[in-house]
Amino acid sequence: MGFPEYRPRRLRRDEKLRGLIEETACSTKHLVLPLFVKEMDEKSVPIPSMPGVSQLSVEGLLQEVEEAVRLSIPAILLFGIPATKDETGSGACDKDGIVQRATREIKKRFGHDILVITDVCLCEYTSHGHCGVLKGNEVDNDETLTILAASALSHAEAGVDMVAPSDMMDGRVRAIRERLDGNGFSHIPIMSYAAKYASALYGPFRDAAESAPQFGDRKGYQMDFPNQREALREIELDVAEGADIIMVKPALFYLDILALAKKEFNRPLAAYSVSGEYTMVQCAASAGYVDYKRTVIEMTTSIARAGADIIITYFAKDLARWLSNTTR
């Protein structure tokens, strides 16, 4: 049946009518708020390239978490910035490290009111800024696995609800799963950054996490952006190694990858809408070129529409405020 019998516009005449047939509903219960905790005296230090986002002390972090709880945001993704760094990123495994201490404080204060997911990687902890230990100028994959697994275990011992390895080393999901299982943490899920692309959109994050590589780039371990089939192979490997949730990162330039992953894999799917996506919208909105609220909601809905079950976004607090009202 075609025009004039069928007229799609009939169902678009009224907001309630549009609501009835809405195919993708964004909801606060699927949002994760990334936060940066730093070993420092100041309570919070704004990140110039990410308006509205700050590096936080443990005390500042607790205030942010309190707000997240009040807004019914179910989870945070925690990144740590240590006071000192070294060649092997040993701070990542320190049981009194910044992430481990912050996790214990959050759990003591908020218990089950919020899920703490921790980023597992070495780039915030290594003096050279790469995501693993070096052999010459190359990141040594297999050496790095041991440290990543030890780091994940230290997070579990501190009380996290989930670990999220972001390093893109081969075999790290299995290494972490075995280490957790062998130490009584078989109940802790792994959300793997399964298809993580070497992206220009990470620039502002590196200011936030103080993790820019001191030489070279991360193309030797993160994925090359023209590749789609390779993402499916990466995800397949992580699923086989025991990933409970698979992630695609970044989100907006990789909606095709999200849609394919949703179709191909029977696993919950997360999308990380990264710092560059956030900053692009912030800049355009503050210049008055796009409407902030409409752009953020449309962008986030597009990520859900592509197939993401979980959306990790720096807009989580604003989204939670807006989504508690029904109209957009």
Binding residues (CB under 5 A) for Zn ion: these are 121, 123, 131
Q: Which two tokens stand for residue 149?
A: 């697994």
- Residue 2 DSSP symbol: -
The least distance separating Zn ion from the CB of residue 122, rounded to whole angstroms, comes to 6
- Residue 108 DSSP symbol: H
Looking at the DSSP bridge assignments, the partners of residue 181 are: none
CA distance 126 to 124: 6
The residue type found at 144 is T
- Displacement of CA 52 from its chain's centroid (Å): 17
Contacts of 114 (CB under 8 A, 6+ apart): 65, 68, 69, 73, 74, 75, 76, 106
- Annotated active-site residue in 43, 196, 263, 317: 196
- Annotated active-site residue in 249, 262, 263, 317: 249
Choice between 44 and 192, CB closer to Zn ion: 192
The least distance separating Zn ion from the CB of residue 171, rounded to whole angstroms, comes to 16
Residue in 114, 105, 101, 99 with CA at minimum distance from that of residue 152: 99
The least distance separating Zn ion from the CB of residue 148, rounded to whole angstroms, comes to 10
Catalytic residue flag (residue 293): no
Choice between 218 and 317, CB closer to Zn ion: 218
Catalytic residue flag (residue 249): yes
The least distance separating Zn ion from the CB of residue 149, rounded to whole angstroms, comes to 15
Choice between 172 and 174, CB closer to Zn ion: 172
Choice between 221 and 315, CB closer to Zn ion: 221
CA distances from 128 to 134, 145, 263 (A): 9, 18, 38
Q: Which two tokens stand for residue 303?
A: 């990520």
- Known catalytic residues are 196, 249
